[in-house]
Amino acid sequence: MNLATFIQHFLNSLTLGSLYALIAIGYTMVYGILRLINFAHSEIFMLGAYLVFWGITLFHLPWPVAMVASIILVAGIGILVDRIAYRPLRDAPRISALISAIGVSFFLQNVAIVFFQAIPRQVYRPAWLENPMLWGDVRVLPLTLFVPLLSLFLMLALVYIVYHTKAGLGMRAISKDIETSYLMGVSVNKVIALTFGIGSALAAASGIMWALRYPQLQPIMGAIPGFKAFIAAVFGGIGSIQGAVIGGVALGFIEIMTVAFFPDLAGYRDAFAFVLLIGILLVKPTGLLGVKTEDKV
Amino acid sequence: MNRSTTILLNLVLVGCLGLFLWWAEGNLDGYKIQILNLIAVNIILALSLNLIYGFTGMFSLGHAGFMAIGAYVCSILIMTPEQKVTLFILQEALPWVQNSHAPFLVAVIAGGAVAALFGLVIGAPLLRLGDDYLGIATLGFAEIVRVIANNIPRVTNGALGFKGIPDHANLWWNYGWCLLTLYFVIRILNSNTGNVFKAIRDDETAAKAMGIDVFRIKLLSFTFGAFFAGVGGALLASLLTTIDPKMFLFTLTFNVLMIVVTGGLGSITGSILAGTGITVMLEWLRFVENPVTIGDWTLPGIPGMRMVVFSLVLILVILFRREGIMGMREIHWGTVARFMKGGKA
Interface contact B303-A113, CB threshold 8 A = yes
Of A92, A98, A282, the CB nearest to B322: A92
* Contact flag A104-B311 (C-beta cutoff 8 Å): yes
Confidence of residue B178 (pLDDT cuts 50, 70, 90): very high
Q: Does A27 touch chain B (CB under 8 A)?
A: no
Find residues 210-229 of chain A whose CB sits inside 8 Å of chain B: 219, 223, 227
Give yes or no for residue A53 having a pLDDT over 50.
yes
According to DSSP, the residues that pair with A138 across neighbouring strands are A135
pLDDT at residue number B29: 87
Is A39 in the B-facing interface, judged by CB distances under 8 Å? Answer: no
Asked if residue A130 belongs to a domain, the reply is no
A123-182 residues touching B, CB cutoff 8 A: none
Q: Is the pLDDT of residue B343 over 60?
A: no
Q: Which of A98, A274, A285 sits opposite B129 (nearest CB)?
A: A285
User: Which range is least confidently modeled, B51-55, B245-249, B258-262, B297-301?
Assistant: B297-301
Number of residues that this document lists for chain A: 297
Q: Is residue A128 domain-resident?
A: no
% of chain B with per-residue pLDDT over 90: 52
pLDDT 10s digits, B266-277: 899 999 999 999
CB contact under 8 A, A110 and B261: no
CATH number for A115: 1.10.3470
On whether ipTM exceeds 0.85, the answer is no
Mean predicted lDDT score pLDDT of chain B: 88
For residue A129, being part of any structural domain is answered with no
Residue type, A115: F
- Residue ranges per domain, chain B? 16-250
Cα–Cα–Cα angle for A20, A22, A25, rounded to 5 degrees:
105
Residue type, B312: L
A295: nearest CA partner in chain B: B205
Are B144 and A274 an interchain contact pair (Cβ–Cβ within 8 Å)?
A: yes
Position B117 scores a pLDDT of 97
Q: Which residues of A touch B257 (CB under 8 A)?
A: 99, 102
Q: What are phi and psi of A140, to 5 degrees?
A: -125, 130
**Number of residues that this document lists for chain B:** 345
pLDDT band at B295 (very low <50, low <70, confident <90, very high): low
Q: Which helix (H) or strand (E) holds B119?
A: helix B104-126
Chain-chain contact of B310 with A99 (C-beta, under 8 angstroms): no
For B184-218, write each residue's pLDDT tens digit: 999 999 999 999 999 999 988 899 999 999 999 99
The answer to whether residue B135 neighbours chain A at the CB level (below 8 Å) is yes
Burial (CB count <10 Å: 0-12, 13-18, 19+), residue A160: exposed
Q: What's the CA gap between B201 and B204, in Å, rounded? A: 6
Distance separating alpha carbons of residues A56 and B323, to the nearest angstrom: 45
Contact B124, B216 (CB under 8 A): no
Neighbours of A78 (CB within 10 A): 29
**CA closest to B261 among chain A residues:** A99
Helix pair B250-263, B30-49: axis angle to 10 deg: 80
Q: Which of B71, B31, B51, B55 is nearest to B234 (CA)?
A: B71
B131 and chain A: CB distance < 8 Å anywhere? yes
Mean pLDDT along residues A271-279? 85
Determine, for residues B148 and A98 on separate chains, whether the beta-carbon distance falls below 8 Å: no
HSE of B42, CA atoms in CB hemisphere, 13 A: 29
Banded model confidence at residue B345, pLDDT cuts 50, 70, 90:
very low
Residues from chain A contacting residue B128 (CB–CB below 8 Å): 282
The DSSP 8-state label assigned to residue B162 in this structure reads B
- Domain hosting residue A200, numbered range: 3-120+137-283
Quick check: B151 contacting A, CB < 8 Å?
Answer: yes
Are residues A104 and B205, on separate chains, in Cβ contact within 8 Å? Answer: no
CA B113 – CA B178 distance, rounded (Å): 17
In terms of DSSP H, where are the helices of B285-332? 286-289, 305-320
CB within 8 Å: A281 and B126: yes
d(Cα B185, Cα B227) in Å, to the nearest integer?
A: 12
Q: Quote the number of domains for chain A.
A: 1
> What are B7-33's pLDDT values in tens digits?
898 899 999 999 999 999 888 888 889
Say whether B243 sits in a helix, a strand or coil.
strand
Q: Which residues of B touch A81 (CB under 8 A)?
A: none
- Asked whether residue A291 is domain-assigned, the answer is no
